[in-house]
Amino acid sequence: MRKINVALVEDDARLRKAVERGLAGADTCRLVGMFATAADAIRDIPALAPDVILMDVNLPDRSGVECVAELAPQLPGTQILMLTVYQDPDTAFQAIAAGAHGYLVKPVMPKRLVEAILEVREGGVPMSRAIARQVIEAFRTLQERQAAAATPSEKSPTATNDPLTPRERQVLELLVEGYSYKETAAQLGISIGTVGTYVERIYEKLHVSCRREMVAWSKSR
């Protein structure tokens, strides 16, 4: 089995070393480049064409989200996994909209990091449970606000404001209840990668369909 080529974008030298040590002990991954700035990453990563990029959000010259937006169109076969201290759903929405495929909150144990790299390569959308729960709860809150603001005709059985399919709704409910991706897949009889695909669709629908309501909701708090 070919090793997964990984590039790391992280300005903290201590964390770069920790990730380097963690991946050095993995049989499935190989670190092919480390970068401390967005400028260096944008310049050099396309030539490396890694399978996975680990991307920090808070870089010294540009946001990691901006870096993702630059790199993602150039590397359609590369999965980008955010690795950051930011736990707010807005940052997660922005990263996913820019082209990220997963979002992990630091610190991440080496074993979990390797599992996330494997998961994202298999089509999953790895998320730290805390941020996943916040994002999904924000989605439910927005749906409830939309339902409360709907006119009587919009609330009729023949009309609905719910953009989710029945299966996406099932995935949403299980994750909100605290089930992991693996547990959700077992409950629904689907693969972990398929769960990830449903979650990615949920995030996309939230960002694309509800951005205006999300901003209004944030300002009203």
For residue 86, what pLDDT band results from cuts at 50, 70 and 90?
Answer: confident
User: DSSP per residue over 38-105, as a string?
Assistant: HHHHHHHHHHH--SEEEE-SB-SSSBHHHHHHHHGGG-TT-EEEEEES---HHHHHHHHHHT--EEEE
For residue 63, what pLDDT band results from cuts at 50, 70 and 90?
Answer: very high
Contact yes or no for 43/37 (Cβ under 8 A): no
Q: Mean pLDDT, to the nearest integer, of 193-216?
A: 61
What pLDDT, in 10s, does the model give residues 98-140?
888 888 888 888 898 998 999 888 877 787 777 777 766 766 6
SS3 call for 191: coil
What pLDDT, in 10s, does the model give residues 161-173?
566 788 888 887 7
pLDDT at 8: 97
pLDDT at 15: 92
Domain boundaries, the chain: 4-126, 130-220
pLDDT at 37: 96
Estimate to the nearest angstrom the gap between the alpha carbon of 93 and the chain centroid. 8
Contact yes or no for 117/124 (Cβ under 8 A): no
- Phi, psi values for residue 171, rounded to 5°: -60, -45
Whether pLDDT at 178 is above 80: no
pTM over 0.75: no
pLDDT at 162: 60
SS3 call for 5: strand
What pLDDT, in 10s, does the model give residues 27-50?
999 999 999 999 999 999 999 999
pLDDT at 12: 94
Q: Mean pLDDT, to the nearest integer, of 76-98?
A: 85
Give the CATH number of domain 4-126: 3.40.50.2300
Whether pLDDT at 83 is above 70: yes
CATH fold of 130-220: Arc Repressor Mutant, subunit A (1.10.10)
